[in-house]
Amino acid sequence: MIKDNLKKIKQNIPEHVTLVAVSKTKPIQDIEEAYAAGQRVFGENKIQEMATKYEALPKDIQWHMIGHLQRNKVKYMAHFVSLIHGVDNFKTLVEINKQAKKHDRVIHCLLQAKIAKEDTKFGLSFTGIKDILNSEEFMELDNVKVTGLMGMATFTDDTVQLNEEFSSLFNFFKEMSTKFPTLTTLSMGMSGDYQQAIANGSSMVRIGSSIFGVRNYIT
Ligand SMILES: *Cc1c(COP(=O)(O)O)cnc(C)c1O
């Protein structure tokens, strides 16, 4: 099942787009099944759940933290996390930098932009992102590297609205990546909207329910 779902999605996304298999709330066995089918990049939204899974599973898995971050828990993933998608304030970057330094690592991060019209989605304004990237305090953080931007669109079937939200982030990303060449990744698109996201320039999609089935509880 999981194997077939993965195969179907892989056929739907171009080769240059990275697939993050979102395994939050799903058991180890489901991840093992995806792993056996060749999947190596997995996304989780709770730091402790991700750390438990990291301990139990093969070490060539790349673990992406896609959820909203609790600063006091960054230390539990600093030794292994491969990419942090949801950074939406400068203080969190400072904490990631501090914890990364302890492990002599440089942790890659994406800044999360708020593109949805809903109040429930976290994220920085475009101005907020610019301010961070241009600040001297940011340039002093040697153990974090901002490698791109992340965004979540409104939960809607309205393709006009989705295209608007995704394209606004893509255009901003293009503008920023010419100024800051380390910005190479644009993470946008989930099970319900990844095709629109890719059509609008996404280079990384985060797909959960279309691979692993619907989740039993909301996180
Ligand atoms: C849960 C989650 C996803 C995956 O959602 P699906 O609709 O199951 O594909 C993607 N991104 C973030 C930030 C999430 O929390």
DSSP annotation string for 142-182: TTEEEEEEEEE--S-S-HHHHHHHHHHHHHHHHHHHHH-TT
CA-based nearest residue to 183, from 135, 90, 111, 82: 111
Q: Which CATH number fits domain 2-210: 3.30.390.30, 3.30.930.10, 3.60.21.10, 3.20.20.10?
A: 3.20.20.10
Band (218; pLDDT cuts 50, 70, 90): low
Percent pLDDT > 90 in the chain is 94
Dist. CA 218 → ligand 1 center (Å) = 11
Per-residue pLDDT at 217: 62
Residue 25 in contact with ligand 1 by CB distance below 6 A? no
Per-residue pLDDT at 88: 96
Q: d(Cα 193, Cα 13) in Å, to the nearest integer?
A: 12
Half-sphere exposure of 78 (CA within 13 A, CB side): 24
Q: What is the mean pLDDT of the chain?
A: 96
Dist. CA 205 → ligand 1 center (Å) = 9
pLDDT at 43 exceeding the cut of 60: yes
Q: Which atom of ligand 1 is nearest to the CA of 22?
A: 4
The residue-averaged pLDDT of 165-179 equals 98
Dist. CA 116 → ligand 1 center (Å) = 14
Task: List pLDDT tens digits, range 84-96.
Answer: 999 999 999 999 9
pLDDT at 129 exceeding the cut of 90: yes
Band (216; pLDDT cuts 50, 70, 90): confident
Task: List pLDDT tens digits, range 20-31.
Answer: 999 999 999 999
CA-based nearest residue to 129, from 144, 112, 145: 112
The residue-averaged pLDDT of 16-42 equals 97
